[in-house]
Amino acid sequence: MSAPLPAEDILVDVSNVDFAYDKRPILSGINLRIPRGKLVAIMGGSGCGKTTLLRLIGGQLRPTGGQIRVAEHDLASLSRRDMYRLRRRVGMLFQFGALFTDLSVFENVAFPLREHTDLPEDMIRDLVLMKLHAVGLRGAHKLMPNELSGGMARRVALARAVALDPMLIMYDEPFAGLDPISLAVVGQLIRKLNDALGASSIMVTHDVHESLEIVDYIYFLSGGKVVAQGTPDEIRASTDPFVKQFVNAETDGPLPFHFPSDDYRKTLMEVRP
């Protein structure tokens, strides 16, 4: 076990966090730390609360218990204005990272710059082309989204997510729906962009094999709790039944198949024809 990192080296510190939608508990006692400069994956079965956790870290939801600190700010104590300022420094790519279909590739990437800055047009042009170059798509700047392959569209969405040089980038299933080659390209880009920007990244994904190749650390969630964690080497060597089930994609194991439900008869009574 390595020595604990000083607080200033931790960009995101989730401490003992609970969260419930209405009265339904989703997360309980979550502890998770993202050191500066690192790329961390959050994995777990469908519906276990991974996206909810990203939204808590992004300040779109408030925990029902515990504390979340981002760049040493306690999110609960931020004013609306400070929260807005902090959010500007967070890039997000949510599931399928939809592009604006009526805007060109160039305008999609320029969008956050136009929304959040007063930069002159020539500077916006330089920044957009630089971001597109970083994802290998400078030559595609005039295309419309319907002229792109799925992999290209995802790369444009990546360029847009990093347009404002964020300190933290959050990805929700960045590989969903991609073919194996595009998936590897996007995976390498996520790593490269994180390192080039000196940012930290959190990636929610089901793709354990790609994650093991590119991330620094992995957290596994189940039943609203962190049930396993470690570096890729530790995860590969793990004998934990949960981790093994996930890594080897086994159908039998501790990961539940069913969404929690009441007694079958009770459900039958509730669902009346």
For ligand ATP, which is the closer residue by CB, 47 or 136?
Answer: 47
Token output for 246: 């996930």
- Residue 47 lies near ligand ATP (rule: CB under 6 A): yes
* Residue among 16 and 46 whose Cβ is closer to ligand ATP: 46
Of the candidates 238, 237, 219, the residue with the CA atom closest to the CA atom of residue 228: 219
51 binds ligand ATP, rule: CB under 6 A: yes
Touching ligand ATP, residues 207-246 (CB under 6 A): none
Residue of 17, 30, 43, 48 interacting with ligand ATP (CB under 6 A): 48
User: How far is 138 from 105, CA to CA, in rounded Å?
Assistant: 9
Size of the site for ligand ATP (CB under 6 A): 10
Helix (H) or strand (E) holding 244: helix 241-247
Among 33, 38, 50, 131, binds ligand ATP (CB under 6 A): 50
User: Can you tell me the distance from the alpha carbon of 168 to that of 57, in angstroms, rounded to the nearest whole number?
Assistant: 10
Q: In whole angstroms, what is the distance from residue 167 CA to residue 156 CA?
A: 19
Q: Is 177 in the site for ligand ATP (CB under 6 A)?
A: no
Residue 21 found at the interface with ligand ATP (CB under 6 A): yes
Amino acid at 56: L
Residue (38 or 50) nearer to ligand ATP, CB:
50
Among the residues of 99-217, which ranges form H helices?
Answer: 105-116, 121-134, 150-161, 180-197, 208-214
DSSP 176: T
- Of 90 and 110, nearer to ligand ATP (C-beta) is 90
Chain residues binding ligand ATP by CB under 6 A are 21, 26, 44, 46-52
